[in-house]
């Protein structure tokens, strides 16, 4: 294999072939619509139905299929067409190719935005605006001799210089680049990583591991004060399932694999991990481990810390791993917990053994409408108390319910629209729900058919006690779809002066309502005080239930017309919102991680001694700060 | 200048613009009282909070997790059953709870219109404040915090809010009011809830009360009104705020149960206070009549007199969130379950003081207060025998008027100067009378007629009049107290060194911390303010290190110093008693008459020139101050509030006051 992606004719040929295949893939929508798993329809299908080694979703040159200055696939985006109707392009998603009639009104009313006022992004990545790489020649020379592919191409480097925080994307859209990695390496396996880390240590080069690039904590940002050469270590080519152990129900997987590939490949042999974070199309196994990720269906399968059995990580001090795969050990503090959440500050996760489960026989969506958010939360609390939460249960507040409603695609038959009307009439007129207060919980049940139906009944019975009315599978499914397209929607907003983001926390049950109310109110107040001309969208949902609390997600967006520095205003408001979260007993993060964005609160979060503990681990494992992304501490 | 400046109503100090104030009696005098009482009442409550009946509220309180938890705990501690404790809690709640009903608000409205029209020429209310309040009430739970100078103002806020279509408040009241026949129940139905005095360590009572208060704040269906000073001020001077209620009210915010709470300080000022003579006698040791309906009816003779105008000034609504920003870490509550927390955050101390200071600054100074101030500075024989030249008094009053305006006082002075002063004296004919170009102190005549009075009785008689005068002076003390402390410091220390003056200034603040309201931890700001104000009237030059006297401002300086002299003299008398004459251990009951005797003796012998030493308020304040300075300690084991005095320490404190 060529040592440099920009050189070598075989490489170029390969890329050309891949491009052709991708284009073919876009033209031909794979025909697996009858799949038993409905959930798969929510997210994009892999770019190709074929799943042989080279056919993985993420190529080395991500720019071939993904946007350089926005979320997701290049072919999929929202736009307002000539008639002013919103549509979603591409073929990957359920919503692809559809008209969404309600979106324009919702968009204009909610934000005071107008289709007349556009803020288009810089269309092309201008490589000459990227600062030239600072190279460590000795390191480059030795790396070449290992045969591990690398690149100093500006596009490659820019792609790995950011996650998806608002300020990061905003800057890209304006064609602005800060400090970017000086080169990118693509190890192919664990041993490649060992070699790279050794070389980096030897030549004092800064390494920043890169998995799926979906970070929302500024974790991928290159520290501006870093003077050494920065090498982005892209794990995307380490994406094989090395073995599946059907006896123990585990799979040993390279850490660079992205969620959708992992699930699809396991599904082929009748298994799944069940780990489905909202970013699973693009986020990687190694990234999940490094940030303590959480999946939508954690109620059945658990969060990442429940799923991993064994982790292999390469650090400047060598490789760390456990000697066996016992399901639980009493051997001092669990070293996995030094690794999980280390956010790339200690080393690179290369291989992970994960629990797998047989694929569920049956899946069913559902939804419940509650007269108000308080009742909804009370119901979720009761469900958690009885420990009968379905695979997923999420409660959206009224604003988000309306948002979801605005995303309803054009209905094809008069009958469905008639039914919708009838449903609305029943809920608001007959049952007396206030359309400006009602909220909806979306549900996903999984398991064998009989049990699912039984479980469903149990949950609906509880819901009924809190005034909840079953509102159909369709509403439920659309709720989950929103998860996958919301990041695309942000790009649409940014075309029209609207910026926004989501952030999350976890909080004890007795504070859920207070935190939701106070944080939303704080956002509104802060926007007003900072001169935002239009009331912001400030909404939340409860996305996970636990025995002792819940995970709450906030969405916040506003129209920035008339503001000279909208990103700064945005950051101030988000900062205030986080302070409000902490003051209301919420955690610094449930699963997004700390990165550099939330570092300032770490000390008060884990105490001085806690900080000292973490620091001493870092000092031992990486005394020369080779993994110098400066996250967390 | 000081932090407080930001909370001040900007640019409104000075002569009060009457246009901002509307006389609410004006309309009542021209239209039907009944029509007013029966007006459509349709206020906008807090964000559509559902109306909550008294029964619903009580039920929510009894079922609150916190109360259940405390109930269980008490049952465990006392060995009684949970059910018994619960019954007890029910009883407490029944005694306490309000039962606000619109019908009774209307009845109250009708009655008060009648009463007010008879008592007052006008009741002025600032419309701007009322508009801001109306807005605030829709956004957050609102706490109305008026000062309390007269029984008359107990329902005035409800009356005004009813008139202007704003939700009427529930009001924290002292339990004695509940005991009045009929009236207690009427008050209850007008929104009053009743709190026992001296709750002490009654855990269950505290729990019920705090849950009740917090439930009202959380539900926000009606504003809550309470007197942060805790009591009606007998001296018309602001009282050191009580913190218990303040804390209960604020806790829902600290715990995140509401997004914000709005505090609305309200300053009620009177030209003349109904209870003036009653209060003076109470201060001289004549017990206050027990609150009773009969008493109220008997008091109806006071209804025959004229009490001038009353001003109700609604202050700018203050967001607790903003006030506490950066000062209180709400995370303190994170590790305690909601249902159990009763964590005390002591930082609300300054908040309560701040509210009292804002009340002070919002209050209107009447011309009579200025005159009272000056009358008190005249030798007593001039007032009782020779009479003070009217000419002299008016000239001096006009001088003081200017000084007060310079110092940012809000002055109620809306007619030609001579008219204003003449009518002030006429209104206060119970205290002074003007005859042949001179002003004399009025002494109670009825007593005199019956039999010749003893010397001691003569002192008491004069004292009653002087204390009445003093109470009107007290209404404006807050304007002058800071520069007066500095003037005193300069006078006593004879120093020009800033740091020495500051040290003495701090000592005086400490000593008089029960006498005047100072916001804790704002010492240096207060000192700066004092310096600036003295400079403003030309009394001093200020440099980095020095504060030097200027010839220009001697008049102001001696006025300010004379303003505090009665306090200093009174304190010295008590220090003298404690360090020389008294015993080592005493009770308050013994202390008060003993000091009064000593002071009377000293007045008669001409050694003491102020009658204010006779006031039980001053006497109690001295005791509190000495306890604070640890020169007097309360004996823990004692049943009867016994105090132990450290004579040497008291003497030292006294020496500091007259050293140099």
pLDDT tens track for A30-45: 444 333 333 334 444 4
Say what the pLDDT of residue B585 is.
Answer: 87
- Residue B17 is assigned to a structural domain of this protein: no
Q: Do B331 and A585 touch (CB under 8 A)?
A: yes
Q: How many CB atoms are located within 10 Å of the residue A557 CB?
A: 24
Query: Are residue B491 and residue B525 in the same domain, yes or no?
Result: yes
Q: Is A213 annotated as a binding residue?
A: yes
Residue A186: burial class (beta carbons within 10 Å; 0-12, 13-18, 19+): buried
At residue B23 the predicted structure's pLDDT band, cuts being 50, 70 and 90, is very high
Q: Do B331 and A604 touch (CB under 8 A)?
A: yes
Residues B613 and B547 grouped into a single domain: yes
For position A481, what pLDDT does the model report? 80
Q: Residue B247 domain-assigned?
A: yes
How far is B333 from chain A, CA to nearest CA, in Å? 8
What's the domain count of chain B? 3
Model confidence band, residue B456 (pLDDT cutoffs 50, 70, 90): confident
> Which among B256, B259, B260 has CB closest to A511?
B256
Same domain, B487 and B615: yes
Q: Is the pLDDT at B593 greater than 50, yes or no?
A: yes
Residues A151 and A179: beta-carbon distance below 8 Å: no
* Closest CA in chain A for residue B328: A583
User: What's residue A4's pLDDT?
Assistant: 45
B288 with B420, same domain: the answer is no
Confidence of residue B193 (pLDDT cuts 50, 70, 90): very high
Residue B367, pLDDT above cutoff 80: yes
Active site residues of A: 553
Please state which of the ranges A46-50, A612-616, B36-40, B347-351 shows the lowest mean pLDDT: A46-50
- Report the distance separating Cα A236 and Cα A238, nearest Å: 5
pLDDT of residue A45: 44
CATH number at residue B262: 3.40.1130
Same domain, B162 and B219: yes
Work out the pLDDT band at B221, boundaries 50, 70, 90: confident
**Chain A residues within 8 A (CB-CB) of chain B?**
508, 510-511, 514-515, 517-518, 521-522, 582-585, 604
ipTM of the complex: 0.84
What is the per-residue pLDDT for A429?
72
> Final residue of a domain: which of B338, B362, B386?
B362
- Preferred mutation among A371, A437, A507, A514 to probe B, highest tally of B CBs within 10 A: A514
On whether A163 is known to bind a ligand per the annotation, the reply is no
Q: What is the mean pLDDT of chain B?
A: 88
> In terms of Cα–Cα distance, which of A209, A302, A303, A301 is closest to A256?
A209
- Whether B142 has a pLDDT exceeding 90, the answer reads yes
Residues of A in contact with B337 (CB under 8 A): 508, 510
Residue B333 is predicted with a pLDDT of 83
Which residues in A lie closer than 8 A to residue B338 (C-beta atoms)? 510-511
| pLDDT tens per residue, range B130-139 | 999 999 999 9
Closest CA to A310 of A258, A252, A262, A256: A252
- Mark whether B381 and B455 lie in a shared domain: yes
Q: Which of A521, A601, A603 is the best substitution to test chain B (most B C-beta atoms within 10 A)?
A: A521
The pLDDT value given to residue A1: 41
Does B203 reside within a domain? yes
Task: Say yes or no: B391 and B315 in one domain.
Answer: no
Contacts A508 to B, Cβ<8 Å:
337
Q: Packing angle between helix B523-536 and helix B477-493, nearest 10 degrees? A: 90
Residue whose entry in the numeric block shows the structure tokens 């439930």: B215
Does B331 contact A at CB distance below 8 Å? yes
Band (pLDDT 50/70/90 cuts) for residue B52 is confident
Same domain, B174 and B306: yes
pLDDT at A54: 47
A442 is in an annotated binding site: no
Please indicate, yes or no, whether residues B462 and B571 belong to a single structural domain of this protein. Answer: no
Q: Is B243 a member of any domain?
A: yes
User: Best interface-test mutation with B: which of A373, A377, A506, A511 has the largest number of B CBs within 10 A?
Assistant: A511
- Rounded to the nearest angstrom, the minimum Cα separation between B329 and chain A is 7
Of A510, A521, A604, the CB nearest to B259: A521
Chain A residue at shortest CA distance from B331: A583
Instruction: State the smallest CA–CA distance between residue A522 and chain B in angstroms.
Output: 8
State yes or no: pLDDT of A447 exceeds 90. yes
Mean pLDDT of all residues in chain A?
90
The residue of chain A with its CA nearest to that of B333 is: A585
C-beta atoms of A510 and B256 within 8 A: no
pLDDT at B659: 61
- B251, B258, B334: which to substitute to probe chain A, counting the most A Cβ within 10 Å? B334
End-of-domain residue from the set B305, B339, B362 = B362
Write the secondary structure of A165-228 as one string of H (helix), E (strand) and C (coil). Answer: CHHHHHHHHCCCCCCCCCEEECCCCHHHHHHHHHHHHHHCCEEEEECCCCCCCCCCCCCCCCCC
Is A346 assigned a ligand-binding role in the annotation?
yes
Q: Is any Cβ of chain A less than 8 angstroms from the Cβ of B330?
A: yes
Cα distance between the two ends of chain B: 31
How far apart (Å, rounded) are the C-alpha atoms in residues B453 and B445?
11
Nearest neighbour of B338 by CB, restricted to A510, A521, A583? A510
Which B residues in the span 233-292 are in contact with A, Cβ-Cβ below 8 Å? 255-257, 259-260
Q: Cβ A582–B331 below 8 Å, yes or no?
A: yes
Instruction: Rank A50-54, A512-516, B112-116, B172-176 by mean pLDDT and report only the highest.
Output: A512-516
CA of A597, closest CA in chain B: separation in Å? 20
* Chain A contact set for B331 (CB, 8 A): 582-583, 585, 604
Residue A515 is nearest to which of B256, B331, B333, comparing CB atoms?
A: B256
- Report whether A349 belongs to an annotated binding site: yes
To the nearest whole percent, how much of chain B has pLDDT over 70?
92
Chain A contact set for B339 (CB, 8 A)? 510
Q: Does residue B146 surpass a pLDDT of 90?
A: yes
User: Is A584–B256 a contact, with Cβ atoms under 8 angstroms apart?
Assistant: yes
- Name all domains of chain A by residue range, CATH numbers in brackets: 62-111 (3.30.160.650), 127-236 (3.30.43.10), 241-358 (3.30.465.10), 497-592 (3.30.300.330)
Closest Cα in chain A, distance from residue B242 (Å):
27
Query: Which residues from B are below 8 Å from A517, CB to CB?
Result: 259
pLDDT digits (tens, 9 = 90+) for B286-332: 776 667 776 666 666 677 788 999 999 999 999 999 998 888 888 88
Domain boundary among B299, B330, B362: B362
pLDDT at A599 exceeding the cut of 70? yes
What's the pLDDT tens digit per position in A380-404?
Answer: 999 999 999 999 999 999 999 899 8
Lowest-confidence region among A17-21, A598-602, B316-320: A17-21
Q: What are phi and psi of A310, to 5 degrees?
A: -155, 140
Same-domain pairing of B354 and B386:
no
A345 is in an annotated binding site: yes
pTM as predicted: 0.88
Q: Say what percent of chain A tops pLDDT 90.
A: 80
Residues of B in contact with A518 (CB under 8 A): 256, 259
CB pairs under 8 A between A and B: 28
Minimum Cα–Cα distance from B260: chain A residue: A518
* Residues of A with Cβ-Cβ distance to B254 under 8 angstroms: none
Q: What is the pLDDT, as a whole number, of residue A39?
A: 37
> What pLDDT, in 10s, does the model give residues A347-361?
999 999 999 999 999
pLDDT at A29 over 50: no
Contact (CB<8Å) B339/A583: no
- Whether the CB of B118 is below 8 Å from some CB of chain A: the reply is no
Of A385-394, B149-158, B167-176, B326-335, which range is least confident?
B326-335
B647 within some domain = yes
Residue B469, domain extent: 367-475
pLDDT recorded at residue A423: 72
**What confidence score (pLDDT) does residue A55 get?**
60
My answer on whether B503 and B611 are in the same domain is yes
Cβ contacts of A161 within 8 Å, gap of 6 or more = A177, A178, A179, A180, A181, A220, A221, A222, A232
Q: What sign does the CA torsion over A40, A43, A44, A48 have?
A: negative
Residue listed under structure tokens 């299908």: A45
* Average pLDDT of the segment spanning B446-464: 74
Locate the chain A residue with the closest alpha carbon to B257.
Answer: A514
Using CB atoms, pick whichever of A510, A517, A518 lies closest to residue B337.
A510
- Whether residue B325 lies within 8 A of chain A, CB to CB, comes out as no
Ligand-binding annotation for A133, yes or no, is no
Model pLDDT for residues B204-216, shown as the tens digit of each residue: 999 999 999 999 9
Residue B10 belongs to some domain of the structure: no
Instruction: Please give the C-alpha separations between residue B261 and each of A49, A221, B220, B430, in angstroms, as whole numbers.
Output: 59, 40, 10, 43
Pair B220, B314 in one domain: yes
Interface test with A, best of B220, B258, B259 (most A CBs within 10 A): B259
Spell out the alpha helix ranges (H) of A546-623: 566-583, 602-621
Greatest mean pLDDT among A433-437, A605-609, B16-20: A605-609
Q: Average pLDDT for residues A57-75, to the nearest whole number?
A: 92
Does the beta-carbon distance from A518 to B259 stay under 8 Å? Answer: yes
> pLDDT confidence of B638, banded at 50, 70, 90?
low
| Most confidently predicted of A611-620, B105-114, B293-302 | A611-620
Distance from CA of A583 to the nearest CA of B (A): 5
Give the pLDDT of residue B326. 85
Task: Give the model's confidence band at B412: pLDDT under 50 very low, under 70 low, under 90 confident, else very high.
Answer: confident
Distance, in Å, from the CA atom of B601 to the CA atom of B604, rounded to the nearest integer, reads 5
Domain assignment present for residue B608? The answer is yes
Q: How far apart are CA A560 and CA A582, in angstroms?
A: 27
Residue B2 belongs to some domain of the structure: no
Chain B partners within 8 Å of A521 (Cβ): 259-260
The 10 Å Cβ neighbour count of residue A147 is 12
pLDDT at A159 over 50: yes
Q: Which residues of B touch A585 (CB under 8 A)?
A: 256, 331, 333-334
Residue B126 Rama label (left phi>0; alpha psi -120 to 50; beta)? beta
Is the pLDDT reported for residue B453 higher than 80? no
């Amino acid at each position: 294999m060529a040592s440099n992606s920009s050189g070598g004719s075989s490489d170029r040929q390969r890329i050309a072939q891949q491009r052709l295949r991708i284009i073919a893939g876009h033209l031909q929508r794979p025909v697996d619509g009858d799949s038993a798993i409905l959930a798969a329809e929510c997210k994009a299908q892999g770019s190709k139905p074929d799943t042989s080694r080279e056919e993985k979703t993420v190529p080395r040159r991500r720019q071939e299929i993904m946007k350089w200055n926005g979320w997701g696939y290049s072919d999929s985006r929202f736009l307002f067409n000539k008639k002013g109707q919103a549509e979603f392009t591409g073929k990957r998603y359920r919503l692809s190719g559809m008209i969404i009639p309600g979106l324009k009104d919702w968009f204009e009313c909610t934000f005071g935005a107008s289709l007349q006022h556009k803020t288009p992004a810089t269309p092309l990545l201008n490589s000459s605006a990227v600062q030239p790489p600072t190279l460590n020649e000795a390191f480059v020379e030795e790396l070449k001799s290992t045969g591990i592919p690398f690149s100093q191409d500006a596009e490659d480097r820019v792609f790995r210089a950011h996650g998806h925080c608002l300020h990061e994307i905003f800057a890209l859209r304006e064609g602005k680049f800060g400090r970017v990695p000086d080169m990118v390496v693509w190890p192919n396996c664990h041993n490649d990583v060992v070699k790279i880390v050794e070389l980096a240590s030897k030549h004092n080069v800064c390494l920043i591991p890169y998995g799926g690039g979906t970070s929302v904590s500024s974790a991928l940002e290159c520290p501006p004060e870093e003077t050494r050469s920065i090498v982005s270590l892209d794990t995307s080519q380490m994406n094989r399932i090395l073995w599946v152990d059907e006896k123990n129900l585990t799979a040993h997987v390279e850490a660079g694999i992205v969620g959708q590939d992992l699930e699809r490949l396991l599904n082929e042999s009748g298994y799944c991990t069940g780990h489905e974070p909202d970013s699973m199309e693009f986020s990687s196994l190694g990234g999940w481990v490094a940030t303590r990720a959480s999946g939508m269906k954690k109620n059945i399968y658990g969060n990442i810390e429940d799923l991993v059995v064994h982790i292999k990580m390469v650090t400047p001090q060598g490789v760390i791993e456990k000697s066996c795969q016992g399901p639980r050990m009493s051997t001092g503090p669990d070293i996995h917990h030094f690794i999980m959440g280390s956010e790339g500050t200690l080393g690179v996760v290369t291989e992970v053994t994960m629990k797998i489960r047989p694929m569920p026989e049956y899946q069913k969506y559902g939804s419940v409408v509650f007269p108000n958010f308080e009742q909804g939360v009370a119901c979720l609390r009761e469900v958690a108390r009885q420990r009968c939460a379905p695979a997923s249960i999420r409660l959206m507040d009224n604003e988000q319910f309306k948002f979801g409603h605005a995303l309803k695609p054009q209905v094809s038959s008069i009958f469905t629209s008639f039914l919708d009307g009838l449903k609305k009439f029943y809920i608001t007129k007959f049952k007396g729900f206030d359309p400006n207060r009602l909220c909806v919980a979306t549900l996903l049940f999984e398991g064998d058919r009989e049990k699912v139906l039984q479980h469903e009944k149990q949950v609906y019975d509880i819901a009924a006690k809190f005034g909840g009315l079953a509102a159909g599978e369709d509403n439920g499914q659309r709720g989950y779809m929103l998860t996958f397209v919301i990041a695309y929607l942000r790009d649409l907003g940014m075309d029209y002066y609207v910026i926004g983001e989501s952030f999350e926390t976890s909080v004890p049950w007795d504070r859920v309502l207070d935190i939701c109310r106070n944080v939303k109110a704080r956002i509104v107040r802060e926007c007003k005080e900072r001169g935002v001309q239009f009331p912001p969208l400030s909404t939340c949902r409860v996305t996970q239930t636990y025995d002792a609390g819940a995970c709450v997600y906030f969405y916040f967006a506003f129209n920035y017309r008339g503001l000279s520095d909208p990103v700064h205003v945005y950051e101030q408001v988000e900062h205030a919102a986080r302070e409000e979260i902490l003051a209301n007993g919420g955690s610094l993060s449930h699963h997004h991680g700390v990165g550099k964005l939330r570092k300032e609160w770490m000390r008060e979060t884990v105490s001085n001694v806690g900080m000292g503990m973490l620091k001493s681990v870092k000092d031992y494992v990486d005394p020369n700060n080779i993994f110098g992304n400066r996250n967390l501490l | 200048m000081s932090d407080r400046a930001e909370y001040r109503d900007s640019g409104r100090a000075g002569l009060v613009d009457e246009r901002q104030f509307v006389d609410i009696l004006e309309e009542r005098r021209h239209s039907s009282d009944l029509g007013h009482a029966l007006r459509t009442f349709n206020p906008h409550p807090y964000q559509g909070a559902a109306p909550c009946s008294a029964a619903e509220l009580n039920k929510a309180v009894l079922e609150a997790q916190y109360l259940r938890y405390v109930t269980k705990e008490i049952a465990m501690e006392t060995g009684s059953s949970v059910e018994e404790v619960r019954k007890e809690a029910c009883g407490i709640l029944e005694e306490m709870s309000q039962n606000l009903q619109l019908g009774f608000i209307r009845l109250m409205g009708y009655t008060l219109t009648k009463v007010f029209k008879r008592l007052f020429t006008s009741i002025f209310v600032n419309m701007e404040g009322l508009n801001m309040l109306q807005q605030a009430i829709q956004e957050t739970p609102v706490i109305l915090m008026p000062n309390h100078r007269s029984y008359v103002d107990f329902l005035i806020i409800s009356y005004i809010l009813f008139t202007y279509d704003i939700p009427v408040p529930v009001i924290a009241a002292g339990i004695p009011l509940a005991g009045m026949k009929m009236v207690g129940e009427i008050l209850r139905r007008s929104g009053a809830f009743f709190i026992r005095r001296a709750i002490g360590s009654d855990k269950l009572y505290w729990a019920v009360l705090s849950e009740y208060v917090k439930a009202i704040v959380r539900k926000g269906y009606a504003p809550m009104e309470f007197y942060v000073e805790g009591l009606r001020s007998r001296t018309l001077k602001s009282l050191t705020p009580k913190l218990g209620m303040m804390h209960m009210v604020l806790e829902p915010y600290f715990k995140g149960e509401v997004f914000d709470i709005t505090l609305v300080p309200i300053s009620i000022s009177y030209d003349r206070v109904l209870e003036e003579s009653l209060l003076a006698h109470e201060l001289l040791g004549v017990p206050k009549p027990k609150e009773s309906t009969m008493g109220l009816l008997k008091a109806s003779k006071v209804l025959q007199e004229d009490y001038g105008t009353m001003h109700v000034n609604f202050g700018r609504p203050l967001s607790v969130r903003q006030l506490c920003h950066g000062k209180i870490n709400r995370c303190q509550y994170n590790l305690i379950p909601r249902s159990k927390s009763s964590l005390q955050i002591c930082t609300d101390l300054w908040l309560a003081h701040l509210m009292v200071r804002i009340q002070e600054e919002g209050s209107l100074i009447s011309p009579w207060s200025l005159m009272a101030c000056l009358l008190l500075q005249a030798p007593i024989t001039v007032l009782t025998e020779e009479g003070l030249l009217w000419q002299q008094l008016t000239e001096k009053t006009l001088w003081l008027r200017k000084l007060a305006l310079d110092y940012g006082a809000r002055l109620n002075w809306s007619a030609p100067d001579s008219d204003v002063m003449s009518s002030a004296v006429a209104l206060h004919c119970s205290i002074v009378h003007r005859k042949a170009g001179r002003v004399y102190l009025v002494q109670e005549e009825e007593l005199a007629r019956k039999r010749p009075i003893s010397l001691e009785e003569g002192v008491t008689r004069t004292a009653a009049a002087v204390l009445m005068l003093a109470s009107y002076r007290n209404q404006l003390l807050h304007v002058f107290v800071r520069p007066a402390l500095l003037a005193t410091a300069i006078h006593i220390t004879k120093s020009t060194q800033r740091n020495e003056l500051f040290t003495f200034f701090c000592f005086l603040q400490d000593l008089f911390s029960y006498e005047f309201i100072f916001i804790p931890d704002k010492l240096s700001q207060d000192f700066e303010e004092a310096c600036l104000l003295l400079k403003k009237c030309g009394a001093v030059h200020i440099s980095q290190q020095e504060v030097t006297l200027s010839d220009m401002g001697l008049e102001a300086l001696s006025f300010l110093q004379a303003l505090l002299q009665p306090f200093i003299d009174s304190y010295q008398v008590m220090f003298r008693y404690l360090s020389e004459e008294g015993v080592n251990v005493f009770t308050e009951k013994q202390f008060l008459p003993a000091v009064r005797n000593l002071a009377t003796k000293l007045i008669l012998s001409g050694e003491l020139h102020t009658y204010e030493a006779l006031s039980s308020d001053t006497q109690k304040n001295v005791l509190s101050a000495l306890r604070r300075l640890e020169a007097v300690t309360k004996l823990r084991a004692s049943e009867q509030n016994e105090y132990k005095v450290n004579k040497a320490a008291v003497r030292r404190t006294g020496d500091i006051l007259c050293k140099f």
